[in-house]
Amino acid sequence: MLIHPQFDPVALALGPVQIHWYGLTYLAAFGLFYGLATRRILQPVYTARGWTPREVEDLLFYGIVGVILGGRLGYVLFYKLAHYLANPMEVFAVWKGGMAFHGGLLGVIAAMAVFAWVRKRGFFEVTDLVATCVPTGLACGRLGNFINGELWGRAADASLPWAMVFPQSGSELARHPSQIYQFLLEGLLLFVLLWLYGRSHGAHHRADGTVVWGRVSGLFLVGYGLFRFIAEYFREPDSFLGLLALNLSMGQWLCVPMMVAGALIWAWAGRRA
């Protein structure tokens, strides 16, 4: 069995200032988004709409605000509502951890709606651009989880070549390195699929050549929801929640409406006037 190397979560200490690996993965995620988005707007369907690198910078700012506020509020509401109702001031103690992807997604959706309204752009025009550039950021986040030795997997057969002991879990059980599974599925694989699909003519045009928005966004919701749903079978459920109805985790239940919404958006996008 492999043993988690237990990295020091602090990458660099400068006197009282500590720079954490997890914070650096967020910075890497934002940098990758900017680099990919500035490449994406070179696609004819975006150049025709007058997108500029400066506008991508503003879009990134809106996204950062949305993902931080939404991720924190999502964790509070979806996972530990009773605890935070009893300890309301801890909502602001973000240094203790606690971010939820599904909350971050809702926060980003709200931020993109505000951006689209301010810039007088179509909502799905904005989200189609964002969707292709998000998975690499998700991959960075899962890498940060692995470095921190958190969100470890469920028990695995010790004969599995990549089974890993996470001492942080308080046991010597061999576990699935589920952070790496998520890094590969909802990070790298989803990025490749969306990037290639986003470049295809069919992603933004109907058969008659008219422009359509929303298909890439719909595929993102379906793809992430599906890959996350699969990965959750290998990820240890949160100890304070356990498995819920039908032996599904909270993460899996949150993925169900996400996949349904994505499928409906994809189908609706191709039919709307």
82-109 pLDDT, tens digit per residue, is 878 888 887 777 666 677 888 888 999 9
Domain-embedded: residue 5: no
Residue 194: inside a domain: yes
Which residue do the tokens 């169900």 mark? Answer: 256
% of the chain residues with pLDDT over 70: 97
- 194 close to 187: Cβ distance less than 8 angstroms: no
Give me the number of domains the chain comprises. Answer: 1
Position 114 scores a pLDDT of: 97
pTM, 2 dp: 0.89
Asked whether 191 and 202 are in contact (CB, 8 A), the reply is no
pLDDT at site 257: 96
- 1 found inside a domain: no
Q: Which two tokens stand for residue 4?
A: 């988690």
Q: Is 39 annotated as a binding residue?
A: no
The reported pLDDT for the residue numbered 272 is 67
Q: Which range has the worst mean pLDDT, 30-39, 100-109, 118-127, 153-162?
A: 100-109
The sign of the dihedral angle between the CA atoms of 197, 200, 201, 202 is: negative
Q: Is 68 exposed, middle or buried (0-12, 13-18, 19+ CB in 10 A)?
A: middle
Is residue 136 assigned to a domain?
A: yes
Question: How confident is the model at residue 2, as a pLDDT?
Answer: 93
Compare 86 and 21 and report the one with higher pLDDT.
21
pLDDT reading at 75 higher than 90: no
- Classify residue 215: in a domain, yes or no: yes
Predicted pLDDT at 77:
83
Residue 56 lies in a domain: yes
2 within some domain = no
Domain that holds residue 22: 10-271
